[in-house]
A and B are shown apart, each in its own frame.
Chain A
């Protein structure tokens, strides 16, 4: 698509429930990133994919969080047993992924509008 699309834009759920957030990246972008933005904070890195595999998931806060990208395009962020502290805006971004050492303007992240998650 023309931009990064995230659904749902808003999700309200109850503590303990399971949630899925979807990201549809820009067509042809091989790299996909998930960030979490809590109120009054900057976005914090969660995980990124190069193709279908998670290249780095070091930002996932615990094992309740999981993300997949089975066909190298759309990604789903999954949160089990949600807690009130999970309330935040979840941002997805995509980019072309450069060979090491050749970062250029083509590799800049393009962000979606985010999915606002509220856990009651």
Chain B
């Protein structure tokens, strides 16, 4: 069965520092991969997605992610973190046991805190 692992439950980064949030997936073929962000009281907002093609994906708010098949990873990065980036981040994979893979399997999330 497909699964997503986010190894870090909580990360604290200084404002202006770089950020990398880890995500590993289990699936034999090329997966559909997503990163969502959730701020308190808000719905999940899509940051970026990977379906095929270029393995470096650019998203909103200055985020990017790189698909590495050899490592089964899709890590999220940002070169300079802003205080407003503090939120919960979820990695997800399209569930291909369901038609068209649009239903998602989520990781448990990583909480990002930003210190001044």
A39-47, A62-70, A75-83 - interface stretch: A39-47
Minimum C-beta distance from B50 to chain A (A) = 11
In this complex, what residue of A is CB-closest to B104? Answer: A109
**The one of B34, B92, B108 that contacts A40, using a Cβ cutoff of 8 Å:** B108
With most chain A CB atoms within 10 A of its CB, the pick from B41, B94, B100, B101 is B100
Say which size band chain A's interface belongs to: 20 to 34
Q: Mark B84-103, 1 if CB is under 8 A from A, else 0.
A: 00000010101100111111
- Judged by a CB distance under 8 angstroms, whether B74 is at the interface is no
In this complex, what residue of B is CB-closest to A59? Answer: B103
- SS class, residues of chain A in contact with chain B: loop
Contact call A103/B99, Cβ cutoff below 8 A: no
Chain A residues with Cβ below 8 Å from B46 are: 108-110
Minimum C-beta distance from A40 to chain B (A) = 7
Known: A103-B94, A112-B43, A113-B42. A45 touches B102 (CB 8 A): no
Contact call B43/A42, Cβ cutoff below 8 A: no
Contact sample, A vs B, 11 pairs, CB 8 Å cutoff: A33-B102, A42-B107, A43-B44, A43-B90, A103-B100, A103-B101, A108-B34, A108-B46, A108-B49, A112-B43, A113-B42
B: residues with CB less than 8 A from A are 4, 32, 34, 36, 41-46, 49, 51, 90, 92, 94-95, 98-109
